[in-house]
Chains A and B, each alone.
Chain A
Amino acid sequence: MAFEGLADRLQKTMQKIRGKGKVTEADVKEMMREVRLALLYADVNLKVVKDFIKKVSERAVGQEVMKSLTPGQQVIKVVKEELTELMGGEQSKIAVSPKPPTVIMMVGLQGAGKTTTTGKLANLLRKNYNRKPLLVAADIYRPAAINQLQTLGKQLTMPVFSLGDQVSPVEIAAKAIEHAKAEHHDYVLIDTAGRLHIDENLMDELKNIKEAVKPDEIFLVVDAMTGQDAVNVATSFNDQLGITGVILTKLDGDTRGGAALSIRAVTGKPIKFVGMGEKMDALEPFHPERMASRILGMGDVLSLIEKA
């Protein structure tokens, strides 16, 4: 697999251009070939890669080289800074409505991890913020989706609101808000069915839920392993619904997770949390820096540079 060789390749490229006072255009060009590769292997969208390379090249050329770094390392330093910048700051805050309950909608493609993340998020709200969330089973399509959420509710000893699978999701969501008010829940987390961004009927359903419950947050749940198509999915969900944030799941795998960068770049919406496992406590704040290193897949090189 070419994955492993990247750090080495970069080192080699860097060695070739060692020992100059300034970073030249030719240096940058050579380095950028490797960076482009690294980003593409990480599934960063091609268009995003191109824009990124352009921006970084402009910044890198002509830079004074720090004493402790080779020109190559200097370029990588710029790359990482820009990558981190592009991914935004750390933003694991969740909206709080002045008029409780705060309503959160979970949306995304099939199998992305919405139901699991709904449970995790409720757990986090209770544990870290002492909140009292209500889980809402608004997926009436997937076999045993309600059951799945109820099982998670049981594990967490948290109530799950359900009207079965014969009532429309819009009605379920609306009734859930009433119920939450009556029972003094301060958060309502709505688990919706997975759907394709090109499925007009089901996307309309989400718009109708949004209209009915006026959510404070709409989180797009995205599988970290998503390939080039991530931008289409994210753009489409964002255009149609106006998402407020992204949760990246399954980052406990060995994917580079370049989709994170693509999504952030095309939607401008923050990545708030990452899923790091199947258990209910496996939800962590998103760290742009760590993600940048991961996407580049160059832990060693980067730690070298960080020391500089």
Chain B
Amino acid sequence: MGFFDKLKEKLTKQTETVTEKFKDGLTKTRQSFSDKMNDLVARYRKVDEDFFEELEEVLIQADVGFDTVLELVDELKMEVKRRNIQESSQVKEIIVEKLVDIYESDDEQITSLNIQDNGLTVILFVGVNGVGKTTTIGKLAYKFKQEGKKVLLAAGDTFRAGAIEQLEVWGKRVGVDVIKQNEGSDPAAVMYDAIQAARSRKADILLCDTAGRLQNKVNLMKELEKVKRVIEREIPGAPHEVLLVLDATTGQNAMIQAKQFKEATDVTGIVLTKLDGTAKGGIVIAIRKELNIPVKFVGLGEKMDDLQPFDLEQYVYGLFAGLADENKED
């Protein structure tokens, strides 16, 4: 069974709505990407240097990290040689396979969250300014609430104007409480309070918001380390997840973000937001490869239910659906 058939089979087993939502969100991504691929294949019958150069360019435009692109193309060249492939149309399938290969690891459970069966699970959200941390907390709170969990939010962004109020609106919307202090207070103290509250109220999940900060701001990164330390000290093994929120429109800088935040807070997963736009967020492939941080969720809009677990094959399918359909015809 070919790659795309396997994919198709897998996808039909998924609930319709999830797949539809994901596909909807990725329509633009898919179209532009696969249009380019098809265009490329149409123009180059033969697999030659020019073909590969342009393939390189297609991937670059998806914001896939440059080094990853170069490596991928090198591997492709070897594969093409090995299988003695002459026609460009035959390369398409291998491209997808390679991309999936690069991303995948032996670890099967990479997209699920580390949720404690008994007691409190603490999830810390980190990232640069405006990427969607607070919104993602709202969405995730909704998701846990739907699952019947008792959720609490910690208003750890005491800096940005209106940040606490924003989280409170989400709290109200979803129907969960927010633990807060005044604007300007120490975020680590807010976390301390929130953990005590979560304990006494026997909450299952505590979602901790933090202020956006650029990864090159040393003091702010130190502050974040302190926030994490307080959580660690209060609950051994916590935070159980540190989720780095990345904006899909971000380019190469996302790699530096991932690197710095990982160093400071030991990031366990990525939430890739704003994938409902035309940006592709291809840099997550490079991040996965270089830093081994998996994407756990994707954001596909501003509403409560616009959060989906990341599914690599769906993601790649989203990118290549046009290609897949065409592949089936021939």
Identify the A interface with B (CB < 8 A): 1-3, 37, 40-43, 45-46, 109-113, 115-116, 119, 141-145, 147-152, 155, 196-198, 223, 225-230, 232-233, 250, 252-256, 258-259, 278
In the complex, what distance in Å separates the CA atom of A257 from the CA atom of B305? 33
Find B280's partner among A3, A229, A258 (CB 8 Å cutoff).
A229
Which residues on the B side are within 8 Å of A41 (C-beta)? Answer: 66, 252
**A-B CB pair tally, cutoff 8 Å:** 149
B contact face: mostly helix, strand, loop, or mixed: loop
Q: Is the CB of A198 within 8 A of B129?
A: no
Which residues on the A side are within 8 Å of B173 (C-beta)? Answer: 143
Which residues on the A side are within 8 Å of B247 (C-beta)? Answer: 111, 223, 225
Which residues on the B side are within 8 Å of A2 (C-beta)? Answer: 66-67
Q: Please give me the residue from chain B that is nearest to A258 by CB atom.
A: B251
Q: Is the CB of B162 within 8 A of A151?
A: yes
Q: Is the CB of A225 within 8 A of B250?
A: yes
Which residues on the B side are within 8 Å of A111 (C-beta)? Answer: 129-132, 247, 274
Known: A43-B251, A111-B130, A250-B129. A141 touches B302 (CB 8 A): yes
In the complex, what distance in Å separates the CA atom of A141 from the CA atom of B169? 11
Which residues on the B side are within 8 Å of A43 (C-beta)? Answer: 251-253
Q: Is the CB of A144 within 8 A of B168?
A: yes
Give the interface segment out of B56-64, B195-203, B320-328: B56-64
Please tell me if B97 contacts chain A, counting CB pairs below 8 Å: no
Q: Is the CB of B277 within 8 A of A109?
A: yes
Which residues on the A side are within 8 Å of B67 (C-beta)? Answer: 2
Which residues on the A side are within 8 Å of B61 (C-beta)? Answer: 45-46, 228
Which residues on the B side are within 8 Å of A147 (C-beta)? Answer: 161-162, 165-166
Complex A-B: 11 CB contacts under 8 Å: A2-B67, A111-B130, A147-B161, A148-B163, A223-B130, A225-B251, A228-B63, A230-B251, A252-B216, A254-B253, A254-B256
Q: Is the CB of A144 within 8 A of B165?
A: yes
B21 to A: closest C-beta gap in Å: 16
Q: Is the CB of A223 within 8 A of B249?
A: yes
Please tell me if B122 contacts chain A, counting CB pairs below 8 Å: no
Find B169's partner among A37, A144, A155 (CB 8 Å cutoff).
A144
Known A110-B302, A149-B162; 7 more pairs at CB < 8 Å:
A37-B66, A111-B247, A143-B138, A151-B162, A227-B249, A227-B251, A253-B253
Q: Please give me the residue from chain B that is nearest to A257 by CB atom.
A: B253
Give the contacts of B56-79 with A (CB-CB under 8 A). 57, 60-63, 66-67
Which residues on the B side are within 8 Å of A232 (C-beta)? Answer: 278
A45 to B: closest C-beta gap in Å: 8
Q: Please give me the residue from chain A that is nearest to B250 by CB atom.
A: A225
In the complex, what distance in Å separates the CA atom of A13 from the CA atom of B28? 40
B128 to A: closest C-beta gap in Å: 7
In the complex, what distance in Å separates the CA atom of A37 from the CA atom of B56? 12
Q: Is the CB of A255 within 8 A of B130?
A: no
Q: Please give me the residue from chain B that is nearest to A47 by CB atom.
A: B61
Find B161's partner among A3, A143, A155, A225 (CB 8 Å cutoff).
A155
Which residues on the A side are within 8 Å of B28 (C-beta)? Answer: 198
In the complex, what distance in Å separates the CA atom of A233 from the CA atom of B280? 13
Which residues on the B side are within 8 Å of A230 (C-beta)? Answer: 249, 251
Known: A143-B170, A229-B278, A252-B214. A40 touches B60 (CB 8 A): yes
In the complex, what distance in Å separates the CA atom of A149 from the CA atom of B163? 11
The 10 closest A-B pairs by CB, nearest first: A227-B251, A111-B130, A148-B162, A143-B169, A43-B251, A151-B161, A144-B165, A144-B166, A229-B279, A253-B214
B170 to A: closest C-beta gap in Å: 6
Q: Is the CB of A226 within 8 A of B130?
A: no
Q: Please give me the residue from chain A that is nearest to B281 by CB atom.
A: A227
Which residues on the B side are within 8 Å of A255 (C-beta)? Answer: 251-253, 256
Which residues on the B side are within 8 Å of A148 (C-beta)? Answer: 160-163, 165-166
In the complex, what distance in Å separates the CA atom of A151 from the CA atom of B259? 33
Please tell me if B204 contacts chain A, counting CB pairs below 8 Å: no
Find B162's partner among A42, A145, A197, A225 (CB 8 Å cutoff).
A145
